[in-house]
Structure 1
Amino acid sequence: MGPMLRIPGGSFAIGTPPWMLDWLERSDQPLPRIWFQDETPQVNRTVATFHLDRDPVTVREFRAFVDDCGYRTDAERRGFSMVYGVDGWGDWDGAHWRSPGGPGTNLDGLDEHPVVHISYGDATAYAKWAGNRLPTEEEWEYAARGPQFRIWPWGDDWGGHEANTAEHHAGTLTTLDAWRKWWIAMVEQQGAMPLTTAVGSFAGPGDSPFGCRDMAGNVYEWTSTRSYLYHPATECDPTVRAATGRYRVIRGGSWMNFRYQVRCAERIHGDPHGWSSFAHGFRCARDD
């Protein structure tokens, strides 16, 4: 298992201030304002001191878990997982952590990359085996940005090379159409292999204030927090409201995303009942 960092406890305002939504609305990104409103309003939270994996769990680390206890992931048991191909998202037969791009793909050269096709159940099973747990949403955001608001773990300036995002691979992307054209070209060239990078590839420029790495991009990360709204009256996308009380919060964005979806406050919500994809991984936490 990789190193864990001690995150001193503290108080902060989780979520996004109003000016951030204004900035997103003005920016050259394709999503409507309402998509981000589940990040509002900001709410004061206090987290106790805890420990967090410096990096997402890697293929090598997950393999050690599987070899030790014979665990089979949800994707392996179900026979499929989510992959984004030339026709968009789909349940691909034979896609799982050992075959991240579907049948015929393998893990050659990926030992130090984050493991993908990980469901909430898979992540919690690994954490229990390791004597750890998944971080809460509050712990995750606090570790990513510290007590002061910042857009990304390193600060408020985007250079494009601080994190593994679609823009790192393709250059500046501002429309979904441009993204799709880039990704279809990638799939036609090399298949639908996830474009993860070895953990720590962006160490230094991309670190959080506490030294955590890859908290923007690379892989989405499960938290233990059940999906909820910071205020029950918040106007948000109907799909988010439908997820409340049922799904789990996922943080960090991934290699697939624009800069706007890898912000410290960005939230998505995932079905904890076996769902996984070729962009989803995790990291572990434990109490002090």
Structure 2
Amino acid sequence: PGLMSEKFNNSLAAMDKYYNQYIFIPGGSYAVGVGHPRWNEKPEKIVHLPPFYFGKFPVTNALFEIFVEKTGYTTTAEKSGHGTVYHGRRLHQIRNDSSGRLVYSGNSELIIKEIKGACWYQPFGPGSTLYKKRNHPVVQVSLEDAMAFAAWTGKRLPTEEEWEAAARTAHGHVFPWGDEWEKDACNTEESLIGDTTPVDRYLKSANEFGIMDLLGNVMEWTQTRSEYVSGDNNSSVLCVTKGGSFISANGICLPRRSKLQPESHSNILGFRCVAS
């Protein structure tokens, strides 16, 4: 990483430096996409990439807060006055005093709402906070917001190819840990948490490079754009996101791609940075 990146890192406290680590990804050939009918994320191809540095973790609330404090930056969600909020399936554990049994309650289905005032520091809307969430991924950030943070820290957003190469490694695995789904290896719908978790919660699920939190928790912006043509032949530019989120079904794989409008922002959408 360059001088600007080093300057930002040197200004951080020890804990924030821990979450600002970058991992060297060797140049070489990497698999992108997968043609297997189980996942069917085509096209499947081999790409050749120069070396780069990839964020060990998604950008945390603590790091984004430093950026906002130093620059006075106002996010897309704050300007628009609202944000998309996903209430994922979750269970609350309650002890039944009369019988001693555990009783579970909570959301049984996904709920999506546009919430006035939802933004990065109150991701579920007014009344929600970042209390005990400094090491959670920042959310409610648009592509523009993510690019602004990256530029200020001397970095950039990854391309889809870089993201997938760093995530799947030279082995081309479809999950960070291998090629078979493992329950409780990441924060998805089956976790029944219904919210973000610390970016280093699933230490044992790091990939071969040591990169964390690649599946579930929050989707991550890439700078890769894809033109979408609707049925009435109107076209719009969408941006590729990777990694799934806490509302994703189990079996979400690294080649999976979603496409969102650049101004999109929600409580399941974050980012991480790279450096050349």
**TM-score tier after normalising by the smaller chain length:** 0.7 to 0.9
Which one of 230, 239, 261 corresponds to residue 271 of structure 1?
Answer: 261
Which one of 51, 61, 64 corresponds to residue 62 of structure 1?
Answer: 64
Sequence identity, in percent?
38
Which residue pairs with 1:141 in the alignment? 164
Measured in 2, the distance between the counterparts of 1:144 and 1:111 equals: 24
Question: 1:74–1:64: structure 2 CA closer, same or farther, 3 Å change rule?
Answer: same
Which residue pairs with 2:195 in the alignment? 195
Per the TM alignment, residue 98 of structure 1 is displaced from its structure 2 partner at its CA by: 0.8
Question: 1:88–1:74: structure 2 CA closer, same or farther, 3 Å change rule?
Answer: same
Check the 8 A contact 2:216/2:246 in 1, yes or no: yes
Q: Return the letter of the residue paired with 2:27.
A: G
Check the 8 A contact 1:226/1:245 in 2, yes or no: no
Which one of 1, 5, 16 corresponds to residue 34 of structure 2?
Answer: 16
Q: Return the letter of the residue paired with 1:195.
A: D
Per the TM alignment, residue 89 of structure 1 is displaced from its structure 2 partner at its CA by: 2.5
After TM superposition, the structure 1 = structure 2 runs for residues 1-288 of structure 1, keeping only pairs within 5 Å, are 1=17, 2-17=20-35, 20-21=36-37, 23-24=38-39, 39-85=41-87, 88-169=111-192, 195-203=195-203, 205-227=204-226, 246-261=237-252, 263-272=253-262, 274-287=263-276
Q: Return the letter of the residue paired with 1:94.
A: G
Question: 1:48–1:69: structure 2 CA closer, same or farther, 3 Å change rule?
Answer: same
Q: Return the letter of the residue paired with 1:8.
A: P
Deviations 1:146-166 (A, max 9, x none): 122322111112221211111
Question: 1:118–1:108: structure 2 CA closer, same or farther, 3 Å change rule?
Answer: same
Check the 8 A contact 1:97/1:116 in 2, yes or no: yes
Q: Return the letter of the residue paired with 1:16.
A: V
Per the TM alignment, residue 169 of structure 1 is displaced from its structure 2 partner at its CA by: 2.5
Measured in 1, the distance between the counterparts of 2:85 and 2:147 equals: 22
More helix, by proportion: 1
Per the TM alignment, residue 280 of structure 1 is displaced from its structure 2 partner at its CA by: 0.4
TM-score, length-scaled by structure 2: 0.80
Per the TM alignment, residue 270 of structure 1 is displaced from its structure 2 partner at its CA by: 1.1
Per the TM alignment, residue 243 of structure 1 is displaced from its structure 2 partner at its CA by: 10
Q: Return the letter of the residue paired with 2:32.
A: I
Measured in 2, the distance between the counterparts of 1:279 and 1:154 equals: 22
Question: 1:243–1:164: structure 2 CA closer, same or farther, 3 Å change rule?
Answer: farther
Check the 8 A contact 2:31/2:165 in 1, yes or no: no
Measured in 1, the distance between the counterparts of 2:166 and 2:227 equals: 20
Deviations 1:215-264 (A, max 9, x none): 111110000111269xxxxxxxx879x89861111000011111233x11
Per the TM alignment, residue 109 of structure 1 is displaced from its structure 2 partner at its CA by: 0.6
Check the 8 A contact 2:86/2:268 in 1, yes or no: no
Q: Aligned residue pairs: how many?
A: 236
More strand, by proportion: 2
- Runs of 4+ aligned structure 1 residues displaced above 6 Å come to 242-245
Check the 8 A contact 1:243/1:269 in 2, yes or no: no
Which residue pairs with 1:184 in the alignment? none
Greater C-alpha Rg: 2
Per the TM alignment, residue 46 of structure 1 is displaced from its structure 2 partner at its CA by: 0.9
Question: 1:153–1:107: structure 2 CA closer, same or farther, 3 Å change rule?
Answer: same
Measured in 2, the distance between the counterparts of 1:228 and 1:149 equals: 27
Q: CA RMSD in A?
A: 2.2
Question: 1:104–1:248: structure 2 CA closer, same or farther, 3 Å change rule?
Answer: same
Measured in 2, the distance between the counterparts of 1:149 and 1:218 equals: 22
Measured in 2, the distance between the counterparts of 1:200 and 1:161 equals: 14
Question: 1:54–1:243: structure 2 CA closer, same or farther, 3 Å change rule?
Answer: farther
TM-score, length-scaled by structure 1: 0.77
Q: Which runs of 5+ in 2 are unaligned?
A: 1-16, 88-108
